[in-house]
Structure formats: structure tokens, C-alpha cells
Amino acid sequence: MSTLNVRASQFAASIDWQENLATIGPIIDQAEVDGVDLLVLPEGVMARFIDQKERIRELAQPLDGPFVTGAAALTEGKQVTVVVGIHERSATERPFNTLVVLRGGRVIEVYRKLHLYDAFNALESDNVTAAEDIPPLVEVNGFQVGLMTCYDVRFPELARILTLNGADVLVLPAAWVKGPLKEHHWRTLVTARALDNTAYLVASGECGEANIGQSLIVDPLGVALAQGTEAPGSITATLTRDRLDDARRRLPVLQNYRFNVEATPRALTVVPAS
């Protein structure tokens, strides 16, 4: 039976990239020891900015900068595939919010966030550039893994495109901000995207002063396999091809859908803060 051992690990990142790199080292080492195939870390944990969001611009690094280079080195000689979020320098003063996928000491794939968090009185687009490319799929132990980031989960079209492109598993690094109803939104949306697409979903939520944590692993029929708390820690689950195939046989939404989803980016609409 084909299986994939997945883990979502959460912690509270600091503004210091070196401190955050030191934090993820033991997490990666332990995942390798435990036989984890896919480790998902939160969004943007190269450096966290609770206030002074504009500092994202000055502290962003290129893909060949010291944080990504150091994180990649932590995977050298290991089997585990690691997904981690950074802020990546762009051609403009506003960096990308980027996921890097690491394996065997190198970057094997990159996804730059499409949907910026311009909601709930926040304007991510003030300091981050929205990308336009559909996320890639990454093969891990025979499973196709699609990449999304945080606010992306509110847009079901992206998860559906990834699934139609062949994704068996969706991953969602996040820094889900605390607020009224936000924990309910998180659980509902993560579960819905798994169930919408009869796909596994592995969501890693940063914890700490500003964010809820509560990492979540959901199966293709919307069943929560593991859930984190508000504290640092890891959750782990074994995903099986049999469960995926059975879910898609019993609930054939990927055959029954009537409307195509076109991957044609539209202009970013900025919602004024209020």
C-alpha cells in the first residue's frame, strides 16, 4: 500500500532569520529520524514582523541568500522533503511571499503567493508583490503535492486547479492571524478545500502572539487526522493511496464537476483598510 508520512510543525518565528534557521534545524532532524516524507513549516518564518510590516522590504532575501541556503543545507543527506515560507527579494521594492521546497540539500521548487491578505483591516499588498504563476506540483514518494499559502485557501479555484493538474495532497503553510471567528474560518476552509477536491490537505499554522497555530491534517473526505494547539509543536499522519482512491470512487466530484476553472490571473483588487 502506497503511503506518505507527513508532518506539520509550528513555532513562533522571530524577526531574526538566524534564530529562525536555528529553530527549524532540530525540527528537520527529528522529522528525518521519524521517517517523515514531507515536512510542512509555516508561512514566512524566515522573519516575522508583528508590527512594522514595512520591514519585510528591507529584510527579504534572495533565493540564494543565507536563510534559504542554510535551510537547504539542513536537508542535505536526508530523505525528508521540506516546505518553508520566506520573503524573497523581487525586481521591485516589494518582495514576494514565497514557499521553497527543499530536498537533498537544494531547492527543488518555488511558489510565489498569488492571493495577498488584503482583508480584515490588513494590506499585505502594501509590502508584498502578488505573483501570477499557478503553483507547481512536487512529487514526494509517489504522491503529487500542490502548494498553496495561507489566504490562498479562501479561493477554491486554486485548490481545484491544482487537483485537476494531478494533486493528491495540498499543503498550506500559513500565519493565520488571530481575531473574531478566525479559528472557525481556518478549520472550515482547510476542511472544505480537502473535501471539495477529495484531496489530503496538510496545513501548518504559525503560532505565537499574533497567529493561531492549530496546524491541521485533513483527509479526502474531510476527516481531521491530526490537529495542533496554539503552542509550538508538531502533528503527524500517514496518508494512504487506498484512502485517496476510495474517497474519489465514493465521491467522484472530480468527474462530476460541470464548469472548467481557467488559470487566467486578473488584476489585484486592493480593499482599503477601515
Query: In sequence order, which residues have a C-beta less than 8 Å from that of residue 121 and are 6 or more positions away?
Result: 273, 274
Q: What are 102's three cell numbers?
A: 527543499
CA R_g for the chain: 17
Going by pLDDT thresholds of 50, 70 and 90, the confidence category of residue 270 is low
> Catalytic site residues?
43, 113, 150
Q: Which domains does the chain have, with CATH numbers?
A: 3-256 (3.60.110.10)
Does the pLDDT value for residue 11 go beyond 80? yes
Residue-wise pLDDT tens digits, 165-204 = 999 999 999 999 999 999 999 999 999 999 999 999 999 9
pLDDT on residue 274 = 46
pLDDT on residue 228 = 98
Stated pTM of the model: 0.95
Q: CA 92, 93, 97, 101 torsion: positive or negative?
A: positive
DSSP 249-267: HHS-HHHH--S-------P
- Provide the percentage of residues in the chain whose pLDDT is more than 70: 97
Least Cα distance to 6 among 240, 192, 243 occurs for 240
Say which DSSP state 151 is in: G
Residue-wise pLDDT tens digits, 20-32 = 999 999 999 999 9
